[in-house]
């Protein structure tokens, strides 16, 4: 339906944007690409009295590739990530996951900061930042702070972000060149939200066995989560068929699954195991 | 609120409510009814327009957010004299029936072919996965877009 009545502001500095967001007792909302917020407004699931457009804020659109990792400005769009050739080696897991985000037209406007602030449990990039232990830099009334991804997502559409805080940058730790990784997603139609997805990586020790395994599950529970029991299965082991089978079994057994109109909880648990299995096969080959 | 941008090469100035989407602004304020509104929440692709060279959903964009940008609608991709190569290809391949989704298909395909005139069938299918058509079954649409590639290799297809 038509959007609820609202006011609109388009500040040119971060301080001004924070002040506007703080001016309405939690009733103002930041809008970046708007590809999640506009549908929320159209369904009247969100009815803020003020939208604060972030499009004129400087310095939020850069992709920085540095010695300590990849920094993504909050207003970096899916399209920008797709088109950045450096990311193929600087962060191949991010690049692979972005290929699954929504559709062509939405990828031209949707932003990484917007997706993370929206926190849809089935969205790919919140899952990537959790899997990779990314840091999320935010600015608010009392200055800037950094929130670790693991502490950022608190439930479906619920985050640690205060009402007047704005995400400024997502910092992904350095990706070593020989790291093994896999990303697998199941959705009924291309571009749909995941019914389940697995994002994972591990490094190989001198003996060829897995170390530093990170396994993330997306779209199964109320937020993206790592699966420590599955990581324990992988660490110290050769990633052979027996290890993969065991990891898939533990993923299905330990994942926190929710039910909705798209799939039952047992189906999602089974799917999570299959996604982990396939992603591990990708990683190994 | 007063908002200025360009539509199909001409500067426009409108006074819209802040909540007005670009789709509604185009249709109701500028009377450019070629842009169709299907779902109003970013799923169907019927309202696709081209903003600063990129295909976007005009129902997921406030008119206010288009301030200063250059918008091309389906009206800007056609002329009174003859069918454009893309339109002719849609006609040749029977790539439309009721026509409701067609403006979104044409704007999306135009943006794609302008940027990637060498795209393959897989890429066309991937890009058009964001546009719903309830009549044709998509096969004819994919063929029409593929067949129009030649025109975009030579010039901009208009």
Residue B157 has pLDDT above 60, yes or no: no
Read off the pLDDT band of B158 (50, 70, 90). low
Q: Both B118 and B142 in a single domain?
A: yes
How many domains are contained in chain B? 2
Q: Is the pLDDT of residue A23 over 60?
A: yes
Residues shown for chain B: 158
pLDDT digits (tens, 9 = 90+) for A79-137: 999 999 999 999 999 999 999 999 999 999 999 999 999 999 999 999 999 999 999 99
Q: How large is the greatest C-alpha to C-alpha distance in chain A, in angstroms?
A: 63
Instruction: For residue range A137-176, list pLDDT tens digits in order.
Output: 999 999 999 999 999 999 999 999 999 999 999 999 999 9
Taking the C-alpha atoms of residue A165 and residue A19, their distance in angstroms, rounded to an integer, is 10
Residue B155 confidence (pLDDT) above 70: no
Q: Are residues B8 and B70 in the same domain?
A: yes
pLDDT band (50, 70, 90) for residue A190: confident
Cβ atoms of A111 and A77 within 8 Å: the answer is yes
Q: Could you say which of A6, A7, A34 has the minimum Cβ distance to residue B60?
A: A34
A101-160 residues touching B, CB cutoff 8 A: 102-106, 108-109
pLDDT surpasses 80 at A180: yes
DSSP output for A133-148 = T-EEEEEETTEEEEEE
Give the pLDDT of residue A87. 97
Contact A103 B45 (CB under 8 A): yes
Is pTM beyond 0.90? Reply is: yes
| CATH assignment at residue B65 | 3.10.20.30
For residue B21, the 8-state DSSP code is: B
Same domain (yes/no): B101, B64: no
Residue A50 has which token pair? 């003020």
Q: How far apart are CA B59 and CA A38, in angstroms?
A: 8
Are B9 and B56 in a shared domain? yes
Q: Sort out which chain A residues have CB atoms less than 8 A from B55's CB and list them.
A: 104-105, 108
Cβ neighbors of B133 (< 8 A, separation 6 or more) are B101, B105, B141
Do B60 and B89 belong to one domain? Answer: no
Q: Are residues B101 and B54 in the same domain?
A: no
A229 has a pLDDT exceeding 80: yes
Last residue in a domain, options B16, B50, B77: B77
Among B151, B145, B4, B158, which Cα is nearest to B71's? B4
d(CA A210, CA A229): 14
CA distance B85 to chain A (A): 22
The CATH number for B108's domain is 1.10.150.120
* Range in A183-197, B19-33, B66-80 with the lowest mean pLDDT: A183-197
| Domain identity same for B66 and B17 | yes
Whether complex ipTM tops 0.90 = yes
> Where is the domain boundary, B57, B77, B97?
B77
Task: Decide if A261 touches B, using CB distance below 8 A.
Answer: no
B52 plus B12 within the same structural domain: yes
The size of the A-B interface in CB pairs under 8 A is 88
Same-domain check for residues B47 and B103: no
pLDDT in tens, B9-68: 999 999 999 999 999 999 999 999 999 999 999 999 999 999 999 999 999 999 999 999
Q: B30: closest CA among B54, B11, B57, B46?
A: B11
What average pLDDT does the segment A31-38 reach? 97
Closest partner CB to B56 (pick from A4, A105, A190): A105
Q: Residues of B at the A interface (Cβ-Cβ below 8 Å)?
A: 1, 17-19, 21, 24, 40-42, 45, 48, 54-57, 59-62, 64-65, 67, 108, 112, 125-127, 129-130
- Mean pLDDT, residues A227-254 taken together: 98
Contact A203, A220 (CB under 8 A): no
User: Cβ separation of B60 and A1 shorter than 8 Å?
Assistant: no
- Is the domain of B137 the same as that of B118? yes
Q: Give residue B97's domain range.
A: 85-154
pLDDT(B109) > 90: yes
Percent share of chain A, pLDDT over 70 = 100
Residues B73 and B93 in one domain: no
Q: How many CB atoms sit inside 10 A of residue A261's CB?
A: 4
Is B21–A4 a contact, with Cβ atoms under 8 angstroms apart? Answer: no
Is residue B154's pLDDT more than 90? no
Residue-level pLDDT at A1: 87
pLDDT given for residue A193 in this prediction: 82
Among B58, B77, B96, the domain boundary falls at B77
**Domains of chain A from N-terminus onward:** 7-52 (3.30.43), 63-173 (3.30.465.10), 181-284 (3.30.390.50)
């Amino acid at each position: 339906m038509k959007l609820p009545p609202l006011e609109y502001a388009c500040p040119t500095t971060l301080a001004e944007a924070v002040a506007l967001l703080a001016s309405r007792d939690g009733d103002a909302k930041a809008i970046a690409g708007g590809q999640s917020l506009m549908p929320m407004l159209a369904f009247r699931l969100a009815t803020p009295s003020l939208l604060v457009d972030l499009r004129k804020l400087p310095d939020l659109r850069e992709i920085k590739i540095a010695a300590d990792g990849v920094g993504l400005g909050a207003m970096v769009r899916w399209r920008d990530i797709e088109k950045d050739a450096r990311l193929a080696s600087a962060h191949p897991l991010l690049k692979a996951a972005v290929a699954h985000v929504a559709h062509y037209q939405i990828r031209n406007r949707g932003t990484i900061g917007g997706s993370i602030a929206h926190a849809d449990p089935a969205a790919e990039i919140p899952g990537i930042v959790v899997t990779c232990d990314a840091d999320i830099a935010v600015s608010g009334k009392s200055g800037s702070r950094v929130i670790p991804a693991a502490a950022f997502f608190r439930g479906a559409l619920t985050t640690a972000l205060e009402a007047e805080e704005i995400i400024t940058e997502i910092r992904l730790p350095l990706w070593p060149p020989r790291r093994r990784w896999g990303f697998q997603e199941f959705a009924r139609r291309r571009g749909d939200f995941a019914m389940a997805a697995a994002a994972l990586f591990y490094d190989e020790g001198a003996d060829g066995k897995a170390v530093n395994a990170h396994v993330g599950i997306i779209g199964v529970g109320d937020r993206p989560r790592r699966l420590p029991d599955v990581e324990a299965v992988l660490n110290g082991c050769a990633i052979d068929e027996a290890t993969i089978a065991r990891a898939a079994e533990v993923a299905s057994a330990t994942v926190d699954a929710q039910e909705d109109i798209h799939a039952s909880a047992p189906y999602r648990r089974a799917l999570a195991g299959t996604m982990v299995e396939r992603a591990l096969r990708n990683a190994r080959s | 609120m007063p908002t200025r941008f360009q539509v199909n090469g001409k500067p426009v100035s409108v006074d819209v409510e802040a909540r007005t989407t670009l789709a509604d602004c185009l249709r109701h304020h500028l009377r450019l009814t070629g842009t169709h509104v299907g779902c109003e929440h970013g799923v169907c692709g019927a309202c696709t327009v081209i903003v600063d060279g990129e295909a976007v959903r005009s129902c997921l964009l406030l008119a206010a957010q288009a301030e200063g940008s250059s918008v091309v609608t389906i009206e800007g991709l056609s002329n009174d004299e003859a069918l454009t190569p893309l339109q002719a290809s849609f006609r040749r391949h029977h790539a439309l029936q009721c026509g409701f989704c067609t403006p979104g298909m044409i704007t999306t395909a135009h943006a794609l072919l302008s940027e990637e005139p060498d795209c393959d069938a897989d890429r066309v299918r991937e890009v058009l996965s964001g546009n719903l058509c309830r009549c044709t079954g998509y096969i004819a649409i994919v063929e029409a877009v593929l067949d129009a590639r030649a025109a975009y290799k030579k010039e901009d297809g208009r």
